[in-house]
Amino acid sequence: MANIRELDVNGTRRRIDADASRTLLSVLREDLDLTGTKYGCGEGQCAACTVLIDGQPARSCITTVGAVAGKRILTIEGLAPEGKLHPVQEAFLQADAMQCGYCTAGMILGAVALLRSNPNPSDAEIVGGMNGHICRCGTYPRIIRAIHAAAGKGGRA
Amino acid sequence: MRRRDFFAALGGGIAVLLVDDASAQQGGRGGRGGQQMPQDVGAWLHIGEDGVVTACTGKVDVGQNSRTSLTAAVAEELRVPVASVRFIMGDTALTPFDGGTAGSGTTPNMWPQIRRAAATAREMLLDLAAQKWSVDRASISIANGKAASGSHTAGFGELTQGQKFVKTIPANVPLTPATEWKVAGTSVPKVAGREIVTGAHKYPSDTKRPGMWYGKILYPPQFGAKLASLDQSAAEAIPGVKVVHEVLASPRAGFGSDVVGVAAPDSATASRALAALRAEWTPTAAQPSSSDVYAYFKQNAESGPASGAGLVTYTVAYLAHVPLEPRAAVAEWNEGKLTVWTGTQSPFGVRRELMAHFQLPEESVHVIMPDTGSGYGGKHQGDAAIEAAILAKAAGRPVQRNWTREEEMTWAYFRPGALIEVAGKANPDGAIAEWEFHNYNAGASALRTPYHVPNAREQFHQTKSPLRQGSYRCLAATANNFARECHMDDLAHSIGMDPLAFRLKNASNDDRLRAVIEAAAERFGWANRKKTPNHGFGIAAGFEKGGHVATCAEVSVINGAVKVLRVVEAFECGAVVNPEHLRNQVDGAISMGLGGALFERVEFASGKISTNRLSRYRVPRFADMPVIESVLVDRKDLPSAGAGECPIIGIAPAVGNAIFDATGQRIRSLPMAPQGIGRAAAGTA
């Protein structure tokens, strides 16, 4: 398979030259310097590497760059492009929904996707929608609170 | 850092320094470890002519929000806005020596030091203003970064006027009492929060340097296996790959003497090169497995096994820390000097490891610790830093060495497993008549019962561990408190006494312990709890690292599946520094403690870890969370203690006691319900 030459990331066409079998995560971090997307497990178990592909959440550590060529990729760096925080980012700040913050980018993008499909989720729906994300610091109750708060403030983006 | 370097780096203004106060420099464990302080003193706080306040500490922030609490300490004592304070943490060239961020030491040790430094600077500013305006010192007030008296007002920079003032911290500098705090004691939000929610914060694993390569290390297939042969030709044939094989004079603990690795311009090429290395290994003899390790602990006890009558056995599995950011380091050599960016709880300890490994003097090694993706006691060693530095030296360029999850869950050290033996007897009136307690391997934290027991016999037995083990949030206190508090429950039941009343009676000599037990029980509604089928209620308490904790749990057990429904935890750690961040720590400790209580365990056999991935090692997720209510007992009359650890020790016994209440089954092994409690109970010693 030919190398991938271009990706649509955060609304911008970025030139790359990457073997199509490489992970999207490694291309974002190494080739495009978008280090906001984190490596946590390499097997899609922790969701620290979550990005949105055409609006749908995807684990970039098990997504090949070949599979996303031509699709719209949104990373955490693209969520507040003009410096104005997305309502979900704002809600995470307000709720102090983090400790070390390493899972936060993936959590926020997962929550953005959840709220797009379900603008006013119940506790159980948040748990169901976010259960693939690990916060080892255990800030889960605050994250649930933040998602509720964002839902109340038009967090569907 | 030397005094002249400090002013060169930060410019004129006021510097407040701490001189040769060994206790202040040591925080955490390990002390100075034989390293000399720089010939001059450590600089602790600087106020620039622009009014910017820069404070320095060798402590680090791994998510416990110490950057925020220390910033609030400066803002409080110096009467400046939180946003005007910049904290430099864990940088061996810019911050004073520190023994490591451990043992919940930042709040009791460093926090008062920083307050003293800021208060000293505040008093200097008062002196300068009194001099400048020729007014009575008592007429001057300082607020919001300005000094004022009558019609006079001046920013801090105007008062220093280009001069360099240096003052050491007097022992009697007046600190603001907790009852008058305006910033400290309030819920100051995480100071770096915006960088985190925007993805802008650079964690150690995000570090990039110009011309940087990516490194990988070939580890043995089994702990203790020795390299028999290595064919690196296929790896070297890959364009751009550098292969390194170094034989160490003294083996790295757990890794052996050979360091074999590769570096390449991108990580994919480095992975290919690693896979192309042809190595043969000589296996080592049989090693204990996770199922027979408890007998091994007892057989190898240095003091010989305990022989008391009626001892009941508890076991506690080894745990993995699972920091979501695995160990990471970037190393860069420049004219014989080494700079390493790495995630560690002990930047000065990592510097010492690097100095020893490369035979370098202190001034040639610079370790920088960006706020890191968690630690939980798991990031004290410099393994990734040493590997990065070896690879960078060989490659002649900066090299990033980020561990994979599998490496993190195999080659990091673990929380020790434990065998615990307990015997006790309660009198009919509820007094504890006899108490004997032995911990094998895990450690002595919280070994001593906090309850009133005459002639308690309590002993920690050093033994051999087949796995590399080290510190972990509260370390052995979780194991010891689990066994003790479950056994306390047994004693209460043996005399038909309510578990709450039994604890309160025996905590008669510890008002702080009684206070948290009463606070938790009241919020939980212990007295009015209603027993229903398949539901149970449990209570546990404990004391560790200056904190007192009591935990009540409600569980359901349906077809062997344990679900923790509700947890109330009361916690007291002196004067509360930041209520929201304290609640966050309590939540987090309960979450992490639930994993070890119910399902987390490291499984191993023949020197191999089989639980080396998140798909094989279950950590708590959203769906595992109970409703958590924390009750903060704020003792403004007591010094503040750390809070990152103690809140973890109550949850496992509270849940165990609740399972007993629901089912009549006493589970004496952690985790209690890896596949539900039927099988776990069957396997209990």
Residues above pLDDT 70, as percent of chain B: 94
CATH 3.30.365.10 domain range(s) in chain B: 3-182, 204-284+327-402, 418-682
CATH topology (fold) of A87-152: DNA polymerase; domain 1 (1.10.150)
* Listed residue (A152, A6, A7) closest to A75, CA to CA: A7
Q: Which residues of B touch A104 (CB under 8 A)?
A: 196-197
ipTM reported for the complex surpasses 0.90: yes
- Whether B434 contacts B506, CB under 8 Å: no
Rounded to an integer, what distance in angstroms lies between the CA atom of residue B398 and that of residue B339? 9
Is B197 an interface residue toward A (CB < 8 Å)?
yes
* pLDDT at residue B222, rounded to an integer: 94
**Beta bridge mates, A13:** A8
**B304 falls in which pLDDT band (50, 70, 90)?**
confident
| Beta carbons within 10 angstroms of residue B637's beta carbon | 10
Q: pLDDT, tens digit, for every residue of B615-629?
A: 999 999 999 999 999
Is B266 an interface residue toward A (CB < 8 Å)?
yes
Q: What is the pLDDT along chain A (157 residues), one digit of tens a residue?
A: 689 999 999 999 999 999 999 999 999 999 999 999 999 999 999 999 999 999 999 999 999 999 999 999 999 999 998 889 999 999 999 999 999 999 999 999 999 999 999 999 999 999 999 999 999 999 999 999 999 999 976 544 4
Q: Select from B205, B208, B587 the Cβ nearest to the Cβ of A33.
A: B208
For chain A, which residues make up each domain, given as ranges? 4-76, 87-152
- Measuring CA to CA, how many Å separate B399 from each of B211, B305, B390, B681? 9, 48, 9, 49
Tokens for B588? 């987090």
Rounded to an integer, what distance in angstroms lies between the CA atom of residue A28 and that of residue B539? 48
DSSP-derived letter for residue B204 is: G
Q: pLDDT, tens digit, for every residue of B203-215?
A: 999 999 999 999 9
Q: pLDDT, tens digit, for every residue of B379-422?
A: 999 999 999 999 999 999 999 999 999 999 999 999 999 999 99
Whether residue B625 and residue A141 make contact (CB cut-off 8 A), yes or no, is yes
Rounded to an integer, what distance in angstroms lies between the CA atom of residue B1 and that of residue B491? 57
Give yes or no for residue B434 having a pLDDT over 50.
Answer: yes
Q: pLDDT, tens digit, for every residue of B213-243?
A: 999 999 999 999 999 999 999 999 999 999 9
- The CATH class, in words, for B3-182 is alpha beta
Torsion angle, CA of B476/B479/B482/B488, rounded to 10 degrees? -70
- Whether B401 contacts B215, CB under 8 Å: yes
Q: Which of A16, A23, A102, A127 to mutate to test the interface with B (most CBs of B within 10 A)?
A: A102
More confident residue, B31 or B184: B184
* pLDDT at residue B32, rounded to an integer: 36
Residues 6+ apart with CB under 8 A from B12: B48, B49, B160, B162, B163, B164
Is B190 an interface residue toward A (CB < 8 Å)?
yes
Whether residue B374 and residue A22 make contact (CB cut-off 8 A), yes or no, is no
Whether residue B322 and residue A130 make contact (CB cut-off 8 A), yes or no, is no
Q: pLDDT, tens digit, for every residue of B493-502?
A: 999 999 999 9
Rounded to an integer, what distance in angstroms lies between the CA atom of residue B441 and that of residue B469? 10
Q: Which residues of A touch B326 (CB under 8 A)?
A: 39
CA atoms within 13 A on the CB side of A32: 28
| Beta carbons within 10 angstroms of residue A89's beta carbon | 27
**Closest CA–CA distance from residue B113 to any residue of chain A (Å):** 24
As a whole number of Å, the CA-based R_g of chain B is 27
Q: Select from A76, A93, A126 the Cβ nearest to the Cβ of B194.
A: A93
Interface of A with B in 32-91 (CB under 8 A): 33-43, 45-46, 48, 75-77, 79-80, 85, 89
Interface of B with A in 105-144 (CB under 8 A): none
| Beta carbons within 10 angstroms of residue A79's beta carbon | 22
Rounded to an integer, what distance in angstroms lies between the CA atom of residue B627 and that of residue B436? 35
Q: Select from A26, A96, A133 the Cβ nearest to the Cβ of B267.
A: A26
Whether residue A131 and residue B584 make contact (CB cut-off 8 A), yes or no, is no
- Measuring CA to CA, how many Å separate B616 from each of A107, B602, B613? 22, 9, 5
Asked which of B98-102, B491-495, B551-555, B660-664 is least confident by mean pLDDT, the reply is B98-102
- Whether A52 contacts A63, CB under 8 Å: no
Tell me the whole-structure pTM to 2 decimals: 0.95
CATH topology (fold) of B204-284+327-402: Aldehyde Oxidoreductase; domain 4 (3.30.365)
Interface of B with A in 299-358 (CB under 8 A): 322-326
- Whether B13 contacts B49, CB under 8 Å: yes
Is B592 an interface residue toward A (CB < 8 Å)?
yes
Rounded to an integer, what distance in angstroms lies between the CA atom of residue B227 and that of residue B1? 42
**Beta bridge mates, A59:** A50
Residue B559, phi-psi category: left (phi > 0), alpha (psi -120 to 50), beta (remainder): left
- Whether B604 contacts B290, CB under 8 Å: yes
Q: pLDDT, tens digit, for every residue of B11-53?
A: 777 888 765 444 444 433 333 333 333 334 445 888 988 888 9
- What CATH number is given for B418-682 in this structure? 3.30.365.10
Name the 3-class secondary structure at B462.
coil
* pLDDT at residue B162, rounded to an integer: 75
* pLDDT at residue B2, rounded to an integer: 56
Give yes or no for residue B582 having a pLDDT over 60.
Answer: yes
Contacts across the A-B interface (CB distance below 8 Å): 174
Give yes or no for residue B336 having a pLDDT over 90.
Answer: yes
* pLDDT at residue B35, rounded to an integer: 38
Interface of B with A in 379-408 (CB under 8 A): 402, 404-406
Rounded to an integer, what distance in angstroms lies between the CA atom of residue A120 and that of residue B45? 48
Give yes or no for residue B305 having a pLDDT over 60.
Answer: yes
Indicate the average pLDDT of chain B. Answer: 92
* pLDDT at residue B50, rounded to an integer: 83
Q: In chain A, which ranges are continuous DSSP H helix? A: 24-26, 87-94, 104-117, 123-130, 140-152
Q: pLDDT, tens digit, for every residue of B358-376?
A: 999 999 999 999 999 999 9
Rounded to an integer, what distance in angstroms lies between the CA atom of residue B450 and that of residue B429? 19
Q: pLDDT, tens digit, for every residue of B42-79?
A: 458 889 888 889 999 999 999 999 999 999 999 999 99
Strands B141-143, B669-670: pairing kind: unpaired
Please provide the DSSP assignment of B560-628 as one string: TEEEEEEEEEEEE-SS-S-HHHHHHHHHHHHHHHHHHHHT----EETTEES--STTTS----GGGPPEE
Rounded to an integer, what distance in angstroms lies between the CA atom of residue B404 and that of residue B402? 7
Name the 3-class secondary structure at B362.
helix
Whether residue B374 and residue A136 make contact (CB cut-off 8 A), yes or no, is yes
* pLDDT at residue B74, rounded to an integer: 96
Rounded to an integer, what distance in angstroms lies between the CA atom of residue B651 and that of residue B649? 6
* pLDDT at residue B360, rounded to an integer: 98
Q: Select from B62, B197, B580 the Cβ nearest to the Cβ of A92.
A: B197
**Closest CA–CA distance from residue A89 to any residue of chain B (Å):** 6
- What CATH number is given for A4-76 in this structure? 3.10.20.30
Asked which of B34-38, B542-546, B571-575 is least confident by mean pLDDT, the reply is B34-38
Q: Which residues of B touch A32 (CB under 8 A)?
A: none
Residues 6+ apart with CB under 8 A from B83: none
- Measuring CA to CA, how many Å separate B225 from each of B114, B382, B386, B412, B592? 48, 22, 20, 17, 33
Q: Which residue has the tokens 């030259």?
A: A17
- Whether B262 contacts B274, CB under 8 Å: yes
* pLDDT at residue B18, rounded to an integer: 62
* pLDDT at residue B33, rounded to an integer: 36
Is B214 an interface residue toward A (CB < 8 Å)?
yes
Q: Select from A30, A98, A142 the Cβ nearest to the Cβ of B196.
A: A98
